[in-house]
Amino acid sequence: MPKRFFFSLIITFFLFLLSVFPIQAQAEFSTSYNIQYTVLNSGITQAKYNISLINKLSNIYATEFSLSIGSTKISNIKAYTSSGSLDAQSTQGSKTTNITIPFKEQVVGKDKSNDFSLEFDSQDFANQLGSVWEISIPKLSKTEDLQSYQLNLTIPTSFGKPAFINPYPINTTVNDGYITYYFSSEDLLETGVSATFGEKQYFDFSLQYNLVNPNIYPVKTEIALPPDTAFQQIIYQTLDPLPEDINIDEDGNWMAIYNLKSKENLTITATGSAQISLSPRPDFPQTYLKNLQDYLKPQQYWEVDHPKIKELTETIVTPKSIYQYVVNNLIYDYGRLGEDAVRFGAVNILDNPDSAICLEFSDLFITLARANNIPARNVNGFAYTTNSALRPLSLKKDVLHAWPEYYDEKRNLWIPVDPTWGNTTGGIDYFSQLDLNHFAFAFQGINSDYPPPAGSYKTNDQNNKDINIVFGKPINTQPQTKLRLQLTKQSIAGLPLTGKITLINTGNVAVYNQTINLTANRLKIKPNQWQILILPPFSSKTFAFELPAASWNNKFTAVIIAVSNLSSTKQQISFVPVHSFIFQHPITFKILSLLIGISILWFVSRLVLKYRK
């Protein structure tokens, strides 16, 4: 994840007052910016600020200009005017670099302009992360008395075409291996510039789940495996040990089922690769919410019916306005990261807005959305960050992250957003398009705190790291299935016969929209077709069917053929008349003979008793 910066432009003026009355400095100057960012092939960004301070009064002048940049990787700072260089001073804080430029000349007079330039190099605006380049230019946080604002961004053409760029540039030019993007100043007052070059990101993962059964009797339990979504595809390499099965819950979680023996401790390891996309996958089935009301209900931490929430929904009604309200009104509390943080919930964080971590940003968004009849849910997972001060991770279990999703009914799509990072990066847009560095582990919509994500399955005495994730490369997907028929090979003609057909996913990815067709010569099967929307890897789906009774006297062989999208199988079954079936099976014949003999003896004994009387 590139470093996206919150920086505020702070103008510090020491005024030479000709008036006997004090004057508010901020209101006595207007400012113009012409800013050029040039990203080199190495990723270093060369920034050049051409700045003008225009006097609104005749009796003041600026002696100093200061700005604070939310970055610690700044070098080669230079400041100058047309008359010569200026002695720029920089002070590095824990999260920012403060630059102060003292002026040598006194620019006095109404409408007089103090023109100067500032240049510096940064390693923070552009980052190559795995398979993608990400560029982030923050917005100006102080726009009062802003006379004009122009910003251009120049990128090497070797980065390729942007998969995403916001706001959309009003013009582009290409020159000598570089492409320059020009932006509308009106757009830049609302947001910074975010661009992604490369459509997909890849993470290799190894996840460990530690299960324990303290009981003296066996129990069945489940774990949440990272699932496919519209924006991510999971390619599994191993899952050891294999589960009894994998079910898909209402939130789309892949829940692996395990049976634990009495007092058993079990460690499960899942390895594979996650492929994250900016755009919805065309092969992923659309999500039609049949139980939409379940995503509007109050839950623990989501107090939808509380008066404070109801009052806010009178003016905050759209997903965008809800996102912006949460970003603008909560303050991230870095002090809580050292604690085993207690989850506040939506209403409590309204009373303590300066004590939020990612859970509260997510909970407040979800609650306000649900109160406006917008389905919403929580996501727990991994988010890559190169600067935890700007993009913090809050969940203590292996330092995970939480963010919300809202449901777009027109698109039948869950849309992820991240108000936490929108807040901590100073307004970088994580609403219009989430980045390629959010990897979902588990979704909580039906229940506000279940299922727990990977990294949460620890025993009390374990402090080891259960999540290991690194940037990866594309892995070949191998969609494969196997069909298995469970059916006797011989049956008595004239009797109905039941069987089962199972589709097993033997590949490394989920398969979608699978159809199973079952046919047989000389017989009609009921039912003979089944649809499977999603079949995760390591899972199977079983269906029962019935073969109707054939003629008692017929002896014939039928071939049962099962065909799915990726596999097929067949089985022969022989139907024989009842007498043939008996004589072909010695054991059956002996049992029948014994029964007949017993029946004859019983009948004879009854006759003897009758005549004796």
CATH number at residue 64: 2.60.40.1730
Question: Among residues 146, 170, 197, which one ends one of the domains?
Answer: 197
Whichever domain contains 562, its CATH number is: 2.60.40.10
Q: Domain limits at 216?
A: 199-281+288-475
Question: Among residues 163, 197, 231, which one ends one of the domains?
Answer: 197
Note whether residue 527 is domain-resident.
yes
CA distance 312 to 324: 13
- DSSP, residue by residue, 468-529: EEEE---------EEEEEE--SEEETTS-EEEEEEEEE-SSS-EEEEEEEEEETT---BS-E
> How, if at all, do strands 29-39 and 146-156 pair?
parallel
Same domain, 161 and 228: no
Note whether residue 104 is domain-resident.
yes
Per-residue tokens: 594: 């014994």
Per-residue model confidence (pLDDT) at position 210: 94
Same domain, 140 and 263: no
Note whether residue 6 is domain-resident.
no
Neighbours of 432 (CB within 10 A): 14
> How, if at all, do strands 540-547 and 497-505 pair?
antiparallel
Q: Specify whether the backbone of 109 is left (phi greater than 0), alpha (psi in -120 to 50) or beta.
A: left
Same domain, 427 and 565: no
> At 197, which helix (H) or strand (E)?
strand 193-197
User: Per the structure, how many domains does the chain have?
Assistant: 4
Same domain, 36 and 144: yes
Q: Are 345 and 449 in contact (CB under 8 A)?
A: no
Look up residue 613 and give its DSSP letter.
-
Same domain, 175 and 241: no
Note whether residue 11 is domain-resident.
no
Per-residue model confidence (pLDDT) at position 138: 76
Per-residue model confidence (pLDDT) at position 141: 61
Note whether residue 221 is domain-resident.
yes
Per-residue model confidence (pLDDT) at position 458: 83
Question: Among residues 197, 214, 238, which one ends one of the domains?
Answer: 197
Low-confidence ranges of the chain (pLDDT < 70): 1-27, 70, 94-95, 141-143, 338-339, 460-463, 550-553, 578-593, 595, 610, 612-613
Note whether residue 458 is domain-resident.
yes
Same domain, 127 and 167: yes
Same domain, 29 and 147: yes
Same domain, 146 and 115: yes
Identify the bridge partners of residue 541 per DSSP, sorted by sequence position.
503
Per-residue model confidence (pLDDT) at position 5: 31
Note whether residue 489 is domain-resident.
yes
The structure's pTM equals: 0.80
Same domain, 167 and 92: yes
Same domain, 230 and 374: yes
Same domain, 335 and 257: yes
pLDDT 10s digits, 66-100: 887 767 789 999 999 999 999 999 998 766 788 99
Per-residue model confidence (pLDDT) at position 553: 62
Note whether residue 38 is domain-resident.
yes
Same domain, 458 and 501: no
